[in-house]
Structure 1
Amino acid sequence: METISLKEQYLAFKVRNPKMRIRDIAAALMVSEAALLMTGLGENTILLENSFESILKEIPSLGYVMALTRNEYCVHERKGVYQKVSFTPHAGLVLGEDIDLRLFMNQWKLGFAVEDNGHKSLQFFDGNGVALHKIYLTEKSDTENYNSLVNRFRKADQQAVPVLPASVIVKAEKPDSEIDVPSFQHAWKTMQDTHEFFGILKRFGLSRTQALRFAPTGFAKQVNVDDFKKVMQSCSEQQVPVMVFVGNHGCIQIHTGTVTRLVEMGTWFNVLDPEFNLHLREEAIANVWHVIKPSADGDINSIELFDKDGEMIVQLFGKRKPGLPELTEWRNVLSQNLPEKFFG
């Protein structure tokens, strides 16, 4: 019996489904996205050296590009120039006005240069072949520098490497009865910086949604998807600048600025602006929270969307910088659109 190669299956699937994206084709064929890309090695795909920090430090030379980071249910696309790329033992940072990233490099295992329908990109994956971050050239990008970068970091051996299929592991929450609720609530109320929140979760062994359930009175309230959409609509109409966070285990990408053109298409809620696109799968949103975290600059309000497994899909703040209080316009939008005025 003749065995059909993965490459043949992929090409045949694309012919039958010309508009389907590679991630969805991979899911349909029950393989990883990286495995599908590797069927193009020697043709439209080049395997890169695992020198990811060095590669990222070169991205500013490409000029104006599009950065894409996604999780299972949300895609975040931001155009601009990579600036101020740096690394610590814990994380990488890109801190430009346009492209703002937090990079968890221990998850980055595979990199490719890809050309697809005339579009050139650099794409990075974890060890299971799951996409972490992609960088697409635009008509304004420096193609010469891109070609030079790809040639310098091209792996000598262009053979496909094995990727292990990801096993879905839903972390079990600590039983509620084992949580030191009074101490946790005290730690929440005495935060001086919103970045302390992750450390507090770790210290008390809480999942994020569990923490919201046990939040001190007046610091977390469950709202709904329509409330989130109303907040987005008001921010659009009033041009209130926001911060939109979308991430996965290898990268968090942040848009800071306005959102203008909001479009609903089927089950997708979209922002379709010239520099920023967001594609959010509404049906995957299991719960939505309005969260308040104290800081040295006053209380900070966010809207946080989670999937059925308690994983963060997207997080929305008013635009702010450390050392400055939260925007009054952002607070006004929340008080106008959420079920009741709710500020700690």
Structure 2
Amino acid sequence: MTAAASEPIPSLQQRWADYRREHPRAWPRDAAAALGVSEAELLATRCGDGVTRLEGDMTVLLLRLPSLGDVKTITRNETAVIERRGRFERVEISGRMGQVVGEEIDLRLFLDHWAACFAVRDESPRGVRRSLQFFDRQGDSIHKVYLEEDDRLPAYEALIKAYQSADQEPVFRPQGATPSATPKPDDAIDVVAFRDAWDGLTDVHGFHGLLRSFGVTRTQALRLAGAERARRVPPSYLTHVLGSAAERALPIMIFVGSRGAIQIHTGPVHRVEPLGAWLNVLDPRFNLHVRTERIAEAWIVRKPTEDGPVTSLELFDAAGETVAFLFGKRKPGQTESALWRDLLSELPEASP
């Protein structure tokens, strides 16, 4: 046995400490990717050192989040991050689904995926940051809630006391993801019937059922829909859409989701800035960050509803996973903004 082979393998705690010294500004998610583990695995190594594992009925915990007052919420996927400051106003749970409905914090929750929660205390140059961080069974982030008001610290600590787990072992054991179903080949889809069913939609929320009934993936559906229903555009036009919406003070809706949550911004965007690999919206109470080189497909999609057609910009990564959806601001019973539709009509066809 060589001397190198006999050396002990560094613990994950030590590897993370070494990584932080070399990359002091790296986010935990990026550190986890670099170290080949999930973010929850990395965070769990700090149990007892600024991190507390929580357990219990997470639905009841969610119902208590309004007690935290003004917070910052973060939901992300591999390509996009959405951040919003505001209050948890109306939290509603029905079975394994939930929603938070408010002017600023607006969420749709898929609770079957919520598997772990940690209370996290971080030291930063700006002071102490306290958060509740939720993860799925694979250890990927679902949603994060950061305390913003110091006078709400007693409410935050009361949540930790109520849900603190007896198990503070500095380990998280991720489970493998359920394999995705193999999509049908295009020639196995009755395209005429599919398009007829699309044209028969009366609500955008019926689109998921349409995909399921025909056994198609979302990007496959857009390919098969026909140009009058879905038109492919260059991924770079996200920059044009956000910039134009800002210039025109046009209120829009931006949806960004993880496996267990979708977070929605409704309203105008103001400060749109590219920075390195990221395209950013840097408004006082709303931030969006998108790694534009990871957007593989962008589509202008038109769906019928009882209130008239609704048009969206839909973004996907190379695996066909959703990055973000953008709509014009509207509520049920309202027609779509003509200004939003005109903005999207400016986008040319993508090159083959």
Identify the TM-score tier after normalising by the shorter chain: over 0.9
**TM-score, scaled relative to structure 2:** 0.93
Report the AA paired with residue 79 of structure 1: R
Instruction: Pick one of 145, 148, 167 that aligns with 1:157.
Output: 167
Report the AA paired with residue 113 of structure 1: A
Question: Following superposition, which runs of at least 4 residues in structure 1 exceed 6 angstroms of deviation?
Answer: none
Report the AA paired with residue 162 of structure 2: R
CA contact (8 A) 1:69 1:247 kept: yes
What is the CA–CA distance in structure 1 between the aligned matches of 2:35 and 2:240, rounded to whole Å? 38
CA contact (8 A) 1:188 1:216 kept: no
Q: What is the aligned partner in structure 2 of residue 7 from structure 1? A: 13
Post-superposition offset of 1:217: 4.3
RMSD of Structure 2 on Structure 1 (CA): 1.6
Matched, 1:20 2:26: yes
What is the CA–CA distance in structure 2 between the aligned matches of 1:33 and 1:226, rounded to whole Å? 29
Superposed, 1:49-128 pairs within 5 Å as 49-117=55-123, 118-128=128-138
Q: What is the aligned partner in structure 2 of residue 247 from structure 1? A: 257
Matched, 1:30 2:36: yes
CA contact (8 A) 1:220 1:291 kept: yes
CA contact (8 A) 1:31 1:165 kept: no
Post-superposition offset of 1:226: 3.0
What is the CA–CA distance in structure 2 between the aligned matches of 1:171 and 1:260, rounded to whole Å? 40
**TM-score, scaled relative to structure 1:** 0.95
Q: What is the aligned partner in structure 2 of residue 301 from structure 1? A: 311
1:297 is paired with a residue of what secondary structure? coil
Q: What is the aligned partner in structure 1 of residue 4 from structure 2? A: none
CA contact (8 A) 2:76 2:257 kept: yes
What is the CA–CA distance in structure 2 between the aligned matches of 1:167 and 1:104, rounded to whole Å? 16
Post-superposition offset of 1:227: 2.4
1:116 is paired with a residue of what secondary structure? strand
- Contiguous gaps of at least 5 residues in structure 2: 1-6
Tell which deviates more after alignment, 48-57 or 280-289. Answer: 48-57
Tell which deviates more after alignment, 245-254 or 132-141. Answer: 132-141
CA offsets 1:57-99 (integer angstroms, 9 cap, x no match): 0111101001100001110101100111111124111011111
Q: What is the aligned partner in structure 2 of residue 40 from structure 1? A: 46
Tell which deviates more after alignment, 254-263 or 170-179. Answer: 170-179
Report the AA paired with residue 145 of structure 2: I
CA contact (8 A) 1:288 1:306 kept: yes
- Contiguous gaps of at least 5 residues in structure 1: none
What is the CA–CA distance in structure 2 between the aligned matches of 1:331 and 1:27, rounded to whole Å? 39
CA contact (8 A) 1:32 1:165 kept: no
Report the AA paired with residue 40 of structure 1: R
Percent of matched pairs sharing the same residue: 45
CA contact (8 A) 1:170 1:309 kept: no
What is the CA–CA distance in structure 1 between the aligned matches of 2:178 and 2:239, rounded to whole Å? 30
What is the CA–CA distance in structure 2 between the aligned matches of 1:65 and 1:125, rounded to whole Å? 19
CA contact (8 A) 2:62 2:91 kept: yes
Q: What is the aligned partner in structure 2 of residue 213 from structure 1? A: 223
Post-superposition offset of 1:177: 1.5
Report the AA paired with residue 69 of structure 1: T
Matched, 1:235 2:245: yes
Post-superposition offset of 1:50: 3.5
Q: What is the aligned partner in structure 2 of residue 330 from structure 1? A: 340
CA contact (8 A) 2:256 2:324 kept: yes
